Structure formats: structure tokens, C-alpha cells
Structure 1
Amino acid sequence: MEFFRDISDATRDLNLPESPQPFAGSTLVMPSVSVGNVGQLTVDLLLETLLQKQQQQQQQQGQGGYSIARAGWLEEPNVLPCAGNDPYSVGGKGGGGKGQSASGSLTTAMEVYHAVPKSDSASSSSADAITVIQQRAPVALGKMEEFSCNLATWAASQAFSRVVVLSGADAQRRQPSQIDGDQFRFLLIDPALPLPSSSPSSSLPEPTPSGSASFNTSLLHSLGWRPLESCDPFGGLPSASSVPAPLAGGPGSSTGERGNEGHMEHEQVEAAMTGEEGEEDPGPLRGGEWGPEQGLKWKAAFLRICIALKDVNIPSIALLVFCSEGDNVPDAFHLAERLTPLLPTSLLGASDPSITELSENMDGMRVDGQSGPTTHWCVPPSWGHLFGPPPDDALYC
């Protein structure tokens, strides 16, 4: 994975250092290609909102706030290539506005945006800075493991302080206890903490102070978020021929691929049942509970990414929403609301209805799907093409 800088005027305003680590110390936010593309839609909401807020601050000549722009592109051989028009109304160069078309700049498969406080624009290593990856193309068939390793290596080379992974999770794989109530879950994997328990009632780690290098688990406790529960879909001893299907899937990720790649290979099943060295071992497939580490190790794209980050000592948290393929706009708003507490408090600011009417969008349909949203999210104009034009009225004459 190789990073290429954007040299536009908007990027120069970020004052990124010319060092090999221009994003050092910042929080990385990225999607995992999954069910309904929920992670990517959430990143769209975040970027469009930040770009419109920046434009409004420029028009009002206000002080403070954030500078945000596309910092560059990532070239990754395991991600399918794609190119298109800028999906955002403001783009990376300023201009545009609500309801206007995109800037016309080229968009590629993986892009990197960076937001830094204006008061600290001379140093992008501030803990209040965030770096956002938008991935617009799936991972090539059978290449998820290699992609995760490449991503973790690049993240380590940039010295990110932590990583937030946004993903959907297949609602059809839920356990009975997961059907009712909030469909949001999270999975925290921190090199400084033990791996999550496989118990369905696994709790959060002990609270850590907000000044720690990893995630503030005191905040997670106060938010009342539910950790991802045990994922044993059988409740008994599964056979090698009934290996569970992936929890999180989608086009191009290892979790949604057809054929052998969508299931454990025979050798993997045998290794899980007997132990890596061949000796008898209870293992996750011999009646043990399927915790995130065991049951999803070969399946969920978000978990592969988090495990790879753990191997390079970068703490990560996966934010998940159980969903199905279809209109996943409400799921994106749901996940965006849950992302907000993990971002710097000054990044999004208080709700500002003058930016755009975000609860009423997409032909008047309520898209937030939640009561009392805390942030007015801006919808990019590219979302107007999600479902194509309406049917011709002549069909009903």
C-alpha cells in the first residue's frame, strides 16, 4: 500500500509536514466493505458534513474550526480499480454548495482525507486531528488477508494513535438475543488489553483514563454501548460440514465471496478442531463458545483488519450495525451518530440546522431513522443516484 499526496491548493492549506509521517498522532477512521456498504455510506456523511461546515466557516469568515481536504490517494494492489467524479458537493477545492454538483475532480478507489484544527494547522500530529479513508471499491477475491496486512503496515508507518473501523453486520446471522433492541454493537481490540471474552455476557474492559493512548473505555461505559456478543450459531457441537457462514459480508470482501473463499477450508476446520499442532484440544469448534477472536477469525472483514492492527500494536474499535441489503441510508445515519462520541468534540460542533435539513432528505423521506439525532448530517449529492430515476408516469396510464 502506497500513499500519494494531493498537491492542490486545498491540501496545501492543511500544512501537512513533508515528513514520511504526515498523519502521525491522528485518529484513523475507515470503512470495511460489508453488508449494505454501511461503513462507506457513513464515511460519506462524515466527509460531506465536514466539508460543508468548512465552507460555511469560510463564508462567515469565522475563526477556529477545522481545515479539511483530500490529502491524497492510496494505491493498493488488492483493491479493484475504479474512477469517477467527486461525489461531494464541496469537493476538495472549495466552491459548490448545498444541492450543487460536485467539483469535477477525479475520484479513485481509495482516498485519504485529513481534518486538523485551524489553531493547530502547523502541526497535523495533534491528537485532535483525524484522518479518513474512503474505500469505493471491493477487495479482490481471496485477498482480504493480504489487504489487512498491507493496511496495518501502512497505518503503523504513519504512526496513527488509534483506528475506528465502520462496518455492517449481516442481520440474518443474529442470535435470538440480538434481534430486539438496539442493532448497534462494537468490538474493541487493544494491544494493551486482553482479547474480548467469548462469553455472550462479556463486558467492557475496566475503565481507563481519557489520557491513555488507547480508547477511553470510561466513555464507552458511560455510553452504555453493547459489545459484540458470542457468535456461536449452533449452540452445540458443529460438524466440519456445517461451518457457520460469515457474520459480515459484502461484495469483494472475504465475507461475501462465493465458493470456497466464503467458507473455512478443510485444513482450517481441522486445525480449529484439533489444535494447530494436531493434538486434541477443545478449540472453538469442539463445543466451545464462538467469541469474536475464534468464531470470526476467518470470516469478518472488520475483524481481520482489527486483528492485523493489533499485530502492529495499534488499538482499534469496530462499530457495527446489524442490517440487510437494501436501503441502508438509515443504517448509515445510525452508525454516524455512534461514531460522533469517538471524534474530537470540536470537530462537528453543535447542531446547526442552517447547514442543511438532514432529517428530511431524499425526496422528503426521513433518513436518520433515529429519534433525537445529535448532529445535523449533510447528505452528498451522489446519494441522489442511489436508486435511479422514478418510474415513468406513462406506465400507470
Structure 2
Amino acid sequence: MKPIFLNGPSIRKSRPKIQLHFLLLQAQENPHNGATVKFSNFERSASPDFVVFSPTMEFFLEEGKQLHDQCSTLVLPALSIGNVGQLAVDLLVSSMRAARIGYLDDPCVLPCIGNNAYEPLPMGELALPLEVYESTANALTLVQQRSPVIKGKVVDFAKNLADFIATCGKKHVVLLSSLDFGRWQQIDTSSGSQIHYLSSTKDDGTDDYCEQMGWRSLHEYDSEQSRWKYLSTLTEAKTTQEDGPPSDEELEEGDYLPSLPFASLFTFLKAKGIKVTCLLCYCSEGDNIPDAFNLAEATGKLLGLRPGDEGIKWVIPYSWKSVYGPPPDLSIF
């Protein structure tokens, strides 16, 4: 079933029916990460759940679940062409049997609901716009984003998410995303690698370990380019979006990359001193499952997950059975 998008008032009215309505009881310090926490109850639950607050983003911990300090690395997608980052996260969650521990709620993300993406049972378990998973065996936290950011709110969402990640004490964030193949300026397939990267380790965006993996740094990245500099100014408290990006007359050839969601997330996380590694691949719209495998395999190499060996083995998510619709009726041929 495709996700059902609802407007603000409708989702609020529907929340009691799908047990997303919370009764806030009290606030106290979270023993897991020091963030401000409010205890809350599901409307039909007797056990309290944690709600971790950043300025405008809320995290709801599911009943009976807990946060694990050892899961200090976070993997999440940045929406782009082909939804490759989201598909790769789905593949990682399914293959590692990661457990959903809660979900995020942010006003910049469109609300939606859908069926469980990983297995048909238990019936009635819903997929939500921003879900949080943990794989304690791999010391890994994963966030899956299932609906787009509201138009014009990409930077606000990046700021909210970066604030939340910093509050939770994550040490390393891996962003998975894709780039439009039609905009690839320096096509070089001599290395055979389709993975490109951008790292906060050095000012020029390069990283020695990523180079050892045979991946290519984003040659188009230039921190002094006007749009990248504009994003950097937004990380300063005194600067707001009302100050405006460079005008159309000032557009440069390298404006494509900093206009993408991953660029805002990268900039805000880097400004908070968090290590960020963006893994990217060029692709076109279509069947992007092979691209998702490439990105997931690169993530496994980066984090030492060793898929297919003594580590994880790829498990196709249940939802992929219908991601491109049913196969054609052979009787028509």
C-alpha cells in the first residue's frame, strides 16, 4: 500500500485512532544522553515512553524500548533522485534485523502512514515519516525518512535534525544520497567505483580512509563557492534565511550540489563538530535497486559490517516486492 499523505489537522485528529496521541505528564533529565525528556503515555498504554525534545523536533521512544549509548554512529538518507538513500537504509535495516525503537516528529516533514516495510506481521503495524532503528550488534542507529520535506523547509529541517543529533551525542553521521547522472561533470570510470564521497574530516572534503576504499571525492565541492558559503552563514545564530541566498544573477556553475538536501545536513552537522561522511552515487530515475545495493555495500565497508561474510547478509525488504508494481501479465505476449 502506498503511503497516505494527510494534512496537519487530519493527522492530529487521526492520531488517537492509531495510538500516536500522547498525554504529556512531566519533564526530567534523560539518563541516557542528558537531553530534556518528557514522560508520556500512549492513550491505551499504561507504561511511560520517553519523548526527547530538540527545539522543534520530537523523538518518541516506543514502549518497552531503550536508547543504547554504544550506538554512537548514525546512518540516515538525504532525499534525492531515485530515492537511493532511502532504499539503501531499507536494505540495511532489513539485513541487520534492526529494531525500531521510536520515531521523530518534525513540522518540516509531510505526515504520512503506510504498511510495515519489513514484514507482513504483526498486522496493523504502521510505517511513519521518520523512524528510528537500532542494531546493537553493529553499534548502529539508523533513521529512515519516508516522506519529503515541505517545499522551502529543507534548511529548517537540516537545522532541526542537526540540533537533535548533537543533543543525542552521536559521534559519526553517515549520509546516504544520490546525484543526477545528467549533471555529472567529470565522468571517469577508470577506477570502476560508482561511489563518491564528501567528508568533514578535511576542509577540502577528502578523507584518507575513503580514498583507501577507492571512492572518489566530490571534485565539485568548493567551500568557498557562494552557495556553500551561504549555507555556512546559516549555521551562525545571527544569520537567518531572510538574508537570502545569492541572487539569480550570481548563480554559478557549481550551484547544483549545495542546493541538495544532503548539503544542508552536511553543513549543519559539520558546524556542530560532528564527523560527517556523505556516500553518494550518480543515477537516473528508474529501477534504482542496484544503486541501493551499491550504496548499502559501501556503507558496510565504511563501518566494517562485512555484508555476506561473518557480518550481515543482504535480506530484501518485504516492501520491495511491490516497489515497482507487479510483473506484467505474460498472457499478453
Instruction: Deviation per CA, 1:105-161: give whole Å up to 9, x if none.
Output: 1210010001113xxxxxxxxxx6111000010111111000000000000000100
What does residue 103 of structure 1 align with? Answer: 122
Partner of 1:114 in structure 2? 134
1:177-199 CA-to-partner distances (Å, cap 9, x unmatched) read 34674321001024xx3243xxx
Distance of 1:300 and 1:178 partners within structure 2: 22
Partner of 1:269 in structure 2? 246
Aligned to 2:30: none
**C-alpha spacing 1:225/1:103, structure 2 compared with 1 (3 Å):** same
Secondary structure of the structure 1 residue equivalent to 2:245: helix
Instruction: Give, in whole Å, the separation in 1 of the partners of 2:83 and 2:172.
Output: 22
Change (3 A) 1:349 1:174: closer
Indicate if the aligned counterparts of 1:175 and 1:231 stay in contact, CA closer than 8 A: no
Q: How many Å apart are 1:336 and its aligned residue? A: 0.9
Aligned twin of 2:210: 220
Structure 1 segments, 4+ long, off by >6 Å, are none
Equivalent residues in 2 for 1:69-80, closer than 5 Å: 69-80=99-110
* Distance (whole Å) between structure 1 residues aligned to residue 100 and residue 286 of structure 2: 29
Cα deviation for residue 340 of structure 1 reads 0.7
Spell out, residue by residue over 1:265-295, the C-alpha distance to the aligned partner (whole angstroms, 9 max, x if none).
Answer: 9x6334994xxxxxxxxxx84xxx84xxx76
Match of 1:174 among 178, 184, 205: 184
TM-score normalized with structure 1 length: 0.59
- CA distance 1:138–1:295, shift in 2 (3 Å): closer
Q: 2:323 aligns with which of 386, 393, 396?
A: 386
How far is the alpha carbon of 1:337 from its aligned partner?
1.0
Which structure 2 segments of 5+ residues have no match?
A: 1-56, 228-241
Measure the CA separation in 2 of the matches of 1:394 and 1:326.
25
Residue deviations 1:205-232 (CA, integer Å, cap 9, x gap): 5xxxxxxxxxxx3x32321211011269
2:80 corresponds to which residue? 34
Structure number with the higher strand fraction is 2
Q: In the alignment, which residue of structure 2 is the partner of 1:194?
A: 203
Partner of 1:184: 195
1:325 corresponds to which of 267, 282, 285: 285
Q: CA deviation at 1:313?
A: 1.4
Count of equivalent residues: 257
Root mean square deviation of aligned Cα: 2.9
TM-score normalised by structure 2 residue count: 0.69
Gaps of 5+ in 1: 52-67, 90-100, 118-127, 197-203, 206-216, 233-242, 244-264, 274-283, 353-374
- Counterparts of 1:10-25 in structure 2, within 5 Å, are 11=65, 16=66, 23=69
Matched to 1:109, the amino acid is P
Which amino acid in 2 is paired with 1:390? P
Verify the 8 A CA contact 2:204 2:221 in the aligned structure 1. no
Larger relative contact order, structure 1 or 2 (CA cutoff 8 Å, min sep 6): 1
Sort the Cα spacing of 1:315 and 1:231 in 2 relative to 1 into closer, same or farther, 3 A: closer
Which stretch shows the higher mean deviation, 142-151 or 24-33?
A: 24-33
Contact 1:34 1:301 (C-alpha < 8 Å) held by counterparts: yes
2:308–2:314 CA contact under 8 A, matched in 1: no
* 1:177 counterpart SS class: coil
